[in-house]
Amino acid sequence: MNNKKVGARSWIVPAVALALTGAGASHAQQAPADNGGLEEVVVTATKRGNENLQIVPIAITAQSQASLEAKGAQEFEDFARSVPSLSFVDNGPAFKTYVIRGINATGTGVATVGQYVDDILITGDLRQPDLRLFDVQRVEVLRGPQGTLYGSGSLSGTIRTIINPPDPTGYHADVVTRFSDTDHGGGNFNGAITFNAPLVNDRIALRATAYDDEESGFINNIRLGTHGVNAEHTFGGRAALLVKLDDATKLTANVFYQRTRTDGRNIAVKADGDLGRYNTDQFVHDPFTSEFKIYNLTLNHDFNWADLDFSSSYFSRGDDNKFDSTLFDLSFGPTFFTDVVGLSTANALTDQEDTSRYITNELRLASKLGGRTEFVAGVFQQHIKTTFVTLVATSNDAGFINLPVEPVFGQAQAHMTEQYALFGELSYKFTNKLTGLVGARAFYADEADDLNSTHPFGGFSPPVVTPTLYSHAHKVTPKFYLSYQATPDAMVYGSISQGFRIGGGNLANVTPLPPEDRTYQPDSLWNYEVGAKTSWFDRHLIVNSSLYYINWSNIQVSDFTDDTNALTFIANAGKARVYGAELEVEARLTRDVTAGGTLALVKAQLSEDQPSSNQQFAGHEGDLFPNVPQVSGSLFAQYSHPLTARLQGFSRVDYSHTGHQGTQFSPGNPIYNVVPAYNLLGARVGVRSDTWEAALFGKNLLNAYAVNILEEASNLTPRAVVPLQPLTFGLELRYHF
């Protein structure tokens, strides 16, 4: 029997059924509307100002501040599983790769999901910044390519975190503290304070937030005798100053800072066999530090017939990542590095320092003519400079680098990108119900890559001499849609859009690459989509759905120079197809009870064999994309009811399911693993008044385990597991005025 054909047919029927039902609901949990129905949700995703989510003809999930607080969300992971077709590859804190609709970067250095804070672009490589969700107005997740308005980093979608702006009309403050305890770990503390102050009434205001998160570790290193090695500490804050220059013009200055440090990586490596779920036996201490800063200036002016917006920002990020390289060294033989290379030991630690600097400017004009025709037009410029310094050195029995340093390998890489773009969208109302849109983004990018070999591998290979690699990309990415507002409560749409990702240069790690592999080409995809957004029973029920088909060409994937899987470069791997269905439902069952859920079905697979110099690791036609669950979904139920004239009781339950997924393209790959399906359950119960709130909460009540399986360095090293935080119970206290 052909399992691939059966697997495809098995969910085509339910996918079509979902499309016929109608429609991506938001999870906004705000005060009920006057009729007792669900609140209208406003988004700014189309860059045309505030718009009702239910009449925006693209697949968007919007999670409001009230919704995020109701589920106790502090970071990306806490809400991601309730967004259809949004998944992630988890390599630990500040080290997640976001995936939308199965478009996985598969180990390459360029993200496929754009990430924004307000209008500030912070998309970089695969390690997306994990901004804490305190004092957040909402999070918008745009599914499908957003190349027209958001550029090449939004190949498969965009995530926008919208911060509460300063309020010049009054003083506000919000304080939240959480105390919790984690099974196999210990006590945790999370706290944040937000303060808003009008400095000049109705003209100037300051809003500031500071937060501190301390999470206990739950992984023990039995080789080194250390406990809770993955303990995490994150602290940071942000401040915004709003100045209204006149009734039509405002200027906002923003500053963000966040630093995350872990005592060790959030992985359990098992070189000595089964050590138990939360034990590891690494040879070294591997602390990780990630820090980012954002400075932004935004100018908004209202011309009455259009809004002018200018945003200028500077984003910097620095990571210091250490990991164990001992087992890779031992794979050459137990005495190779001592007897042949002449080092004191084969024990080794790799230290990688990664820095990124982005300067981004965008100027755009969005019309509000009020007639049949509306438009958005803008210009974009970005300068990116990154450095990546690697040092592999011997380590002692205590797990630290030997002093004086005894290098095994060292190199420094530098990368530069200059991007320029013109973009625009034009919509036209053919009738009061039928609207069409055409859009395009034309951009040009120059890239340069440099490599400096600071120490040849093992001291016996010649230094790698790599001249500067230059690469260029230019592209026009179009977008088209038609939307039909059948009734005030029902809208259907169809869209065709293109996503695009620039290429780059490959720098030789140890041995020179052949000329054809020294650069990799851009990749692009076409997304074909139909969807519906519907409201029922006087907005007591919202049902949104979408069906999509994606053709992805010239895919950028990791390729391998040898059988160890340790030395990789980026190559283009032919074509892939993705098709799927998304459903979001939310209902206000009674005035006290709200419930809803999501479902996503995704089939992402290669439609051509992967051209590779190492077929042992290559993917083949029909292979599923790694780290993409074919089935995922979520459910929630929320209840609130007055207890007294001043007190209200509330409770909430959140459930999510993530289907199983492979870690490589081909099941025949020697490092292929399967991440089993898992279910998460969380609950909250509490009481609130007008000024304070107290809640008991539980996370991972089913004690689910692994969310990712990875290989440390090569197929010769043991499997490493990234576990979820175990069962956690806690108390949250909030005060606001």
Closest among 467, 515, 556 to 152, alpha carbons compared: 556
Quickly state the pLDDT bin for 271 (edges 50, 70, 90): low
CA distance 659 to 633: 9
The amino acid that residue 725 corresponds to is Q
pLDDT at 4 over 50: no
Specify the pLDDT at position 151.
Answer: 84
Closest among 21, 140, 161, 19 to 86, alpha carbons compared: 140
Specify the pLDDT at position 574.
Answer: 79
User: What torsion do the CA atoms of 144, 150, 155, 157 make, to the nearest 10 degrees?
Assistant: -40
Specify the pLDDT at position 463.
Answer: 64
Specify the pLDDT at position 85.
Answer: 96
- What's the rounded mean pLDDT across residues 334-338? 85
Specify the pLDDT at position 459.
Answer: 60
Question: 237 has which bridge partners?
Answer: 210, 257
Residue 590 neighbours by CB under 8 Å, 6+ apart: none
Average pLDDT of the chain to the nearest whole number: 88
pLDDT at 654 over 70: yes
pLDDT in tens, 449-474: 888 888 887 665 666 667 888 888 88
pLDDT at 314 over 80: yes
Q: CB of 572 within 8 A of CB of 616?
A: no
Q: Is 459 helix (H, G, I), strand (E, B) or coil?
A: helix
Specify the pLDDT at position 13.
Answer: 35
Question: Tokens 């109608």 correspond to what residue?
Answer: 22
Q: CB of 425 within 8 A of CB of 437?
A: yes
Per CATH, the number for 3-736 is 2.40.170.20
| Greater pLDDT, 34 or 271 | 271
The amino acid that residue 693 corresponds to is E
Q: CB of 286 within 8 A of CB of 266?
A: no
C-alpha distances in Å from residue 320, one per residue of 289, 311, 575: 5, 30, 35
Closest among 61, 83, 58 to 497, alpha carbons compared: 58
Work out the number of other CB atoms within 10 angstroms of the CB of residue 596: 24
Specify the pLDDT at position 557.
Answer: 78
Closest among 220, 329, 235, 319 to 277, alpha carbons compared: 220
Quickly state the pLDDT bin for 509 (edges 50, 70, 90): low
pLDDT at 374 over 90: yes
> Would you state the structure tokens that stand for residue 280, as one six-digit string?
């590891």
Quickly state the pLDDT bin for 17 (edges 50, 70, 90): very low
Highest mean pLDDT among 272-286, 448-462, 545-559: 545-559
The amino acid that residue 505 corresponds to is G
Q: How far apart are the first and last CA of the chain?
A: 65
CA distance 547 to 403: 59
> Would you state the structure tokens that stand for residue 31, as one six-digit string?
């005060």
Q: Is 83 helix (H, G, I), strand (E, B) or coil?
A: coil
pLDDT at 239 over 90: yes
What phi, psi does 4 have (nearest 5°)?
Answer: -65, -40
- What's the rounded mean pLDDT across residues 119-127? 80
The proportion of the chain whose per-residue pLDDT surpasses 70, expressed as a percent, equals 88
Helix H or strand E encompassing 523: strand 523-536
The amino acid that residue 634 corresponds to is S
Q: Which of 181-185, 622-626, 649-653 has the lowest mean pLDDT?
A: 622-626
Half-sphere exposure of 146 (CA within 13 A, CB side): 26
What percent helix, strand, coil does the chain show, rounded to 5?
5, 55, 40
CA distance 709 to 660: 12
pLDDT at 568 over 80: no
Give buried/exposed letters for 543-555 (b at 16+ CB in 10 A, else e). Answer: bbbbbbebbbebb
Provide the sign of the torsion angle of the four alpha carbons 51, 57, 58, 60, taken in this order. Answer: positive
Q: Which of 404-413, 422-431, 590-599, 616-625 has the lowest mean pLDDT?
A: 616-625
Contacts 24+ apart (CB under 8 A), 295-298: 295/254, 295/255, 296/118, 296/119, 296/120, 296/252, 296/253, 296/254, 296/255, 296/256, 297/251, 297/252, 297/253, 297/254, 298/118, 298/119, 298/251, 298/252, 298/254
Q: CA-based angle 302:305:307, to the nearest 5?
A: 35
Q: CB of 581 within 8 A of CB of 19?
A: yes
Residue 715 neighbours by CB under 8 Å, 6+ apart: 563, 564, 565, 670, 671
pLDDT at 103 over 80: yes
C-alpha distances in Å from residue 188, one per residue of 90, 193, 262: 21, 17, 14
- What's the rounded mean pLDDT across residues 697-707? 91
CA distance 319 to 68: 28
The amino acid that residue 97 corresponds to is T
Residue 413 neighbours by CB under 8 Å, 6+ apart: 387, 388, 389, 390, 449, 450, 451, 452, 507
pLDDT at 26 over 80: no
Q: Which of 67-81, 275-289, 502-516, 532-546 has the lowest mean pLDDT?
A: 502-516
| Greater pLDDT, 19 or 278 | 278
Q: CB of 537 within 8 A of CB of 36?
A: no
Q: Where are the domains positioned within the chain? A: 3-736
pLDDT at 278 over 80: yes
C-alpha distances in Å from residue 490, one per residue of 252, 482, 701: 37, 14, 38
Give me the DSSP letters along 252-311: EEEEEEEEEEESS-S-EE-TTS---TTEE--SS---EEEEEEEEEEEEEEE-SSEEEEEE
- What's the rounded mean pLDDT across residues 480-507? 92
| Greater pLDDT, 68 or 713 | 68
Specify the pLDDT at position 95.
Answer: 79
Specify the pLDDT at position 665.
Answer: 86
Closest among 72, 69, 70, 29 to 729, alpha carbons compared: 72
Specify the pLDDT at position 27.
Answer: 38
Give me the DSSP letters along 666-711: -TTSTT--EEPPEEEEEEEEEEE-SSEEEEEEEE-TT---EEEEEE
Q: Is 522 helix (H, G, I), strand (E, B) or coil?
A: coil
Q: CB of 154 within 8 A of CB of 421?
A: no
pLDDT at 199 over 60: yes
pTM over cut 0.85: yes
